[in-house]
Amino acid sequence: MNDTAPTEAIARFVAELQFEDLPHGVVNQACRVILDTVGCAIAAWREDPVKARIADKLIAGFNASSPALIIGGGRTDAALAALANGILVNAADSDDTHKRALIHVGSVVVSPALAVAEAEKLSGSDAIVAVVAGYEAAVRVGMAVMPTHYRFWHSTATNGTFGAAVAAGRALRQSAGEVQLALGFAGTQAAGLNTFFETGDHTKSLHPGKAGFNGILAARLAALGATSSPNILEHSKGYPAAYSTDPKLEN
């Protein structure tokens, strides 16, 4: 990424990435993780029906209509679909994991990418590019703040918000400047504590859903011209500085 600051470098990468740039192996892997993510969401209805029903009823309460599908359920606004599908994908805890970043990436990237792609009537290749871009951002941010980040923070929720914002932004065909602002909104919304390790409660599954919702919210705010920190990753009070005792930023 040369000498460009990390936030701007990621934003440029996302905005400029084209399907033709992707190696054949990357496209195949993207298709695999999309299939795996959707499969995990479908499996949730049998393996954890309590969480599945909660997700479905939660979204129904918003009374929103849109082309975006809740996997195994109805249709709603794209952000709400990402919320529900993120919960469903992570319900059985069998979704894909990046070991160094410690993120269940599919639940936070594929869910918003597919929801926005469906709402915007994008092609399959456009959806794949959004997924690849989201994976790249989530994992890079995750590796930058690990391992000390994981002492308190649920990496899927926090670092995943950046991936969700990037996936949504790329699906919306945003400029580098808009993606950069979406990253700022992602950083200021990133949340999710690791308390569920002791209790086994439902916050673990809420986290990826909320990350997906927040990511779409971040991209939509940027599209509307709302402003955020343009240097959320390198600011002295930015995300890595606040969420890690040993951040490792690379341009």
What is the pLDDT, as a whole number, of residue 127? 98
Helix (H, G, I), strand (E, B) or coil at 103: strand
Q: Return d(Cα 5, Cα 28) in angstroms, integer.
A: 31
Q: Helices H, strands E: what count in the chain?
A: 11, 2
> Do you know the residue count of the chain?
251
Confidence check: pLDDT of 70 > 50? yes
In a domain, residue 30? The reply is yes
In a domain, residue 47? The reply is yes
CA nearest to 167, candidates 104, 109, 89: 109
**Residue for token pair 């952000």:** 79
In a domain, residue 162? The reply is yes
In a domain, residue 1? The reply is no
In a domain, residue 250? The reply is no
How many CB atoms sit inside 10 A of residue 61's CB?
8
In a domain, residue 195? The reply is yes
Element (H, E) at 91: helix 78-91
**234: pLDDT confidence band, cut at 50, 70 and 90?**
very high
In a domain, residue 251? The reply is no
Confidence check: pLDDT of 232 > 60? yes
What is the pLDDT, as a whole number, of residue 250? 67
Query: Per the structure, how many domains does the chain have?
Result: 1
The percent of residues in the chain predicted with pLDDT above 90, rounded, is 90
pTM of the model: 0.95
In a domain, residue 205? The reply is yes
Strand partners, 75: 69
CA angle, 228 then 229 then 230, to 5°: 105
Tokens standing for residue 200: 């086994």
Residue 24's domain is classified under what CATH number? 1.10.4100.10
String of DSSP letters for 180-192 = HHHHHHHHHH---
The domain of 101 spans: 6-243
Confidence check: pLDDT of 2 > 70? no
209-220 pLDDT per residue, tens? 999 999 999 999
3-30 pLDDT per residue, tens? 689 999 999 999 999 999 999 999 999 9
Cα-Cα-Cα-Cα dihedral sign, residues 165, 163, 79, 25: positive
Confidence check: pLDDT of 123 > 80? yes
The percent of residues in the chain predicted with pLDDT above 70, rounded, is 98
Average pLDDT over residues 35-59: 95
Q: What are phi and psi of 193, to 5 degrees?
A: -95, 155
How does the average pLDDT of the chain come out, rounded? 95
